[in-house]
């Protein structure tokens, strides 16, 4: 587009972020103190963001980050340095800093022959978001604002945002690996505030994917906005959530966060390796209801957590973590897999070139069961139906976790009845996995999420069919 000419030039995918010869000399410098492994991770990331609030498009912004992180492993020690300077001298200075941080001796010269792997496209992009006029994006925000406000006179405030990013990464390491990827993501979110006799309530909806602007071919932002508004309006007549333990039915596509928190983090090999997971040493054991097959899948086309390669250069994979309730495998990064002498699983990820990679999820989901969602609700005499979950948090060592209910209803006599105000649910991961007693046939993926671990955020997806947990503690105030 004419409005951002430099952007088109910089994003030329045939243009290597760092030339092969430079990578070789940087790796040689990184190995100069006798280290056994060295890696260069280079990144060029462009973002655009638009925010609407209070009826106005308040701001249009764009940003660029470009740099490289260099990792040197020597025995049990990892040295790391990063730089925004991608010239050969800049990279070599960072390589020396990383090498000296991991130093134990001198190594002489080791040359690395880099073999470039073919780029595998997991999530093809039809329309790059940076080719869409900003005016078009602005107009979508305004339409979302109008749609939410038209949903009812009690809607008193609306905010909406759209963000897109185009990230090119390159990984080269001393094993001879050389791989690149391009990750294009786009998201749209709307939140609404409704005001009534009971005070104010909020509704929030978002969509996103590792995909181009074609995301909006099948997703209408006005419909998204109406759903956010309706959620806020419904909650105006919500009563306080109950307090205590009871059956909880979780709608398809919103409960993936349950598995992300209840067991996903506990299946990350770094936490397992340090004995900081309740699932350590339990491969081959029945850790969940036999209904549950849990998969982590970075190859899921278009999904928010999809990647062509992970941030250590390994191709993404579909990994079965739990099969029919039996723990089959953990998720791995390069260092842990290397230590165990086993294949990596494509789960080494990092927030940016300024961060070290670690074991992370991609898209984590539970496969379909056999029940219809209606049957699951009808089979529940008294409980809570959660139509939308919010964020969560887990203590992987004890397995105790919480997550928020953004939209929930009472179930009475097998029927969904009154809406409930917000609250947290609390449970113990291993216990909840065993307590899933009904599993639906209506699998759906959920909204885009950002997973935080050790201060780093990465995009993740999750999904599941409608399901019932026999007993969870609801953190409301009603008796």
The token pair at 357 is 């990679």
| Window contacting another protein (CB under 8 A); options: 209-217, 287-295, 371-379, 398-406 | 398-406
Q: Which 331-360 residues touch another protein, going by CB under 8 A?
A: 354, 356
Shortest distance, CB of residue 223 to another protein, whole angstroms? 23
Q: Which is nearer to another protein, 56 or 342 (CB)?
A: 56
How far is C-alpha 283 from the chain's CA centre? 25
**Residues 172, 311: Cα–Cα separation, whole Å:** 10
| Window contacting another protein (CB under 8 A); options: 169-177, 219-227, 365-373, 468-476 | 468-476
Shortest distance, CB of residue 371 to another protein, whole angstroms? 27
135 is a contact residue toward another protein (CB under 8 A): yes
368 is a contact residue toward another protein (CB under 8 A): no
| Window contacting another protein (CB under 8 A); options: 11-19, 62-70, 117-125, 296-304 | 62-70
* Residue entry with tokens 């990063």: 82
263 is a contact residue toward another protein (CB under 8 A): no
62 is a contact residue toward another protein (CB under 8 A): yes
65 is a contact residue toward another protein (CB under 8 A): yes
The token pair at 436 is 């899933």
278 is a contact residue toward another protein (CB under 8 A): yes
Shortest distance, CB of residue 356 to another protein, whole angstroms? 6
200 is a contact residue toward another protein (CB under 8 A): yes
Q: Which is nearer to another protein, 402 or 416 (CB)?
A: 402
Q: Which of 12, 76, 108, 109 binds another protein (CB under 8 A)?
A: 76
Work out whether the CA dihedral 91, 92, 97, 102 comes out positive or negative: positive
The DSSP element (H or E) to which 9 belongs, if any, is helix 5-10
String of contacts with another protein for each residue 411-450, x by CB under 8 A: ----------xxxx-xxx----------------------
Burial of 136 (0-12, 13-18, 19+ CB in 10 A): exposed
475 is a contact residue toward another protein (CB under 8 A): yes
**Residues 458, 183: Cα–Cα separation, whole Å:** 13
Shortest distance, CB of residue 435 to another protein, whole angstroms? 14
Q: Which is nearer to another protein, 61 or 150 (CB)?
A: 61
18 is a contact residue toward another protein (CB under 8 A): no
b/e map 219-242, b = 16+ CB within 10 Å: eebbebbbbbbbbbbbbbebeebb
Q: Which is nearer to another protein, 22 or 278 (CB)?
A: 278
Shortest distance, CB of residue 257 to another protein, whole angstroms? 9
Decide: helix, strand or coil at residue 196: strand
| Window contacting another protein (CB under 8 A); options: 180-188, 197-205, 247-255, 291-299 | 197-205
Q: Which of 41, 82, 279, 332 binds another protein (CB under 8 A)?
A: 82
Q: Which 306-325 residues touch another protein, going by CB under 8 A?
A: none
Whether 379 and 369 have beta carbons less than 8 Å apart is answered as: no
Q: Which is nearer to another protein, 24 or 157 (CB)?
A: 157
Q: Which is nearer to another protein, 176 or 281 (CB)?
A: 281
**Residues 466, 455: Cα–Cα separation, whole Å:** 32
String of contacts with another protein for each residue 144-183, x by CB under 8 A: ------------xx--------------------------
391 is a contact residue toward another protein (CB under 8 A): yes
- Closest by CA to 348, choosing from 28, 78, 6, is 78
The token pair at 261 is 């928190």
Q: Which is nearer to another protein, 122 or 436 (CB)?
A: 436
**Residues 156, 90: Cα–Cα separation, whole Å:** 52
Q: Which 219-248 residues touch another protein, going by CB under 8 A?
A: 235, 241, 243-245
Shortest distance, CB of residue 281 to another protein, whole angstroms? 12
Q: How many other CB atoms are found less than 10 A from the CB of residue 6?
A: 9
58 is a contact residue toward another protein (CB under 8 A): yes
**Residues 20, 24: Cα–Cα separation, whole Å:** 6
CA dihedral 300, 301, 302, 304 (to 10 degrees): 20
| Window contacting another protein (CB under 8 A); options: 29-37, 106-114, 193-201, 247-255 | 193-201
Whether 312 and 39 have beta carbons less than 8 Å apart is answered as: yes
* Long-range pairs for 317-323: beta carbons < 8 A, 24 or more residues apart: 317/345, 317/346, 319/295, 319/345, 319/346, 319/347, 320/293, 320/294, 320/295, 321/263, 321/264, 321/267, 321/294, 321/295, 321/296, 322/263, 322/287, 322/288, 322/292, 322/293, 322/294, 322/433, 323/293
3 is a contact residue toward another protein (CB under 8 A): yes
Whether 437 and 468 have beta carbons less than 8 Å apart is answered as: yes
> In degrees rounded to 5, what are phi and psi of residue 255?
-100, 5
Residues, the chain? 479
């Amino acid at each position: 587009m004419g409005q951002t000419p430099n952007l088109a030039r910089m994003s030329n995918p045939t243009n290597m972020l760092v030339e092969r010869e430079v990578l070789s000399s940087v790796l040689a410098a990184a190995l100069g103190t006798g280290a056994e492994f060295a890696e260069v991770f280079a990144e060029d990331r462009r973002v655009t963001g638009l925010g609407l609030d209070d009826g106005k498009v308040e701001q249009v912004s764009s940003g660029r980050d470009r740099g490289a992180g260099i990792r040197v492993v020597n025995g049990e020690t990892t040295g790391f340095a990063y730089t925004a300077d991608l010239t050969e001298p800049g990279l070599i200075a960072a390589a020396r800093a990383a090498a000296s941080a991991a130093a134990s001796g001198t190594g002489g010269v080791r040359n690395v022959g880099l073999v470039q792997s073919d780029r595998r496209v997991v999530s093809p992009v039809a329309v790059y978001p940076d080719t869409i006029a900003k005016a078009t994006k602005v107009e979508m925000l305004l339409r979302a604002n109008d749609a939410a406000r038209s949903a009812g006179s009690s809607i008193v405030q609306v905010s909406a945002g759209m963000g897109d990013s185009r990230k090119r990464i390159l990984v080269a390491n001393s094993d001879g690996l050389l791989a690149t990827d391009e990750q294009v993501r786009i998201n749209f979110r709307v939140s609404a505030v409704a005001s009534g006799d009971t005070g104010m309530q909020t509704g929030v909806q978002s969509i996103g994917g590792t995909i181009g602007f074609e995301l909006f071919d099948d997703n209408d932002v006005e419909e998204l906005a109406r759903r956010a508004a309706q959620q806020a309006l419904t909650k105006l007549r919500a009563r306080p959530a109950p307090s205590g333990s009871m059956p909880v039915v979780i709608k398809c596509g919103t409960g993936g966060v349950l598995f992300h928190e209840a067991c996903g983090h506990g299946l990350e090999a770094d936490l397992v390796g340090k004995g900081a997971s309740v699932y350590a040493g339990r491969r081959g054991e029945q850790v969940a209801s036999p209904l549950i097959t849990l998969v982590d899948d970075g190859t899921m086309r278009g999904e928010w957590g999809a990647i062509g390669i992970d941030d250590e250069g390994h191709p993404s994979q579909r990994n079965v973590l739990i099969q029919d309730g039996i723990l089959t495998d953990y998720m791995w990064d390069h260092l842990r897999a290397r230590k165990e002498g086993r294949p990596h699983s494509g789960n080494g990820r990092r927030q940016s070139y300024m961060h070290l990679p670690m074991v992370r999820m991609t898209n984590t989901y539970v496969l379909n069961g056999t029940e219809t969602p209606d049957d699951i609700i009808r089979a529940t005499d008294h409980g809570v139906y959660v139509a939308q979950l919010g964020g969560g948090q887990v203590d992987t060592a004890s397995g105790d976790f919480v997550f928020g209910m953004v939209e929930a209803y009472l179930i009475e006599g097998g029927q969904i009845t009154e809406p409930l105000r917000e609250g947290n649910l609390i449970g113990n991961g291993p216990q909840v996995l065993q307590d899933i007693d009904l599993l639906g046939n209506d699998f759906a993926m959920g909204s885009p999420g950002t997973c935080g671990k050790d201060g780093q955020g990465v995009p993740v997806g999750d999904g599941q069919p409608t399901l019932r947990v026999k007993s969870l503690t609801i953190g409301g105030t009603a008796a």
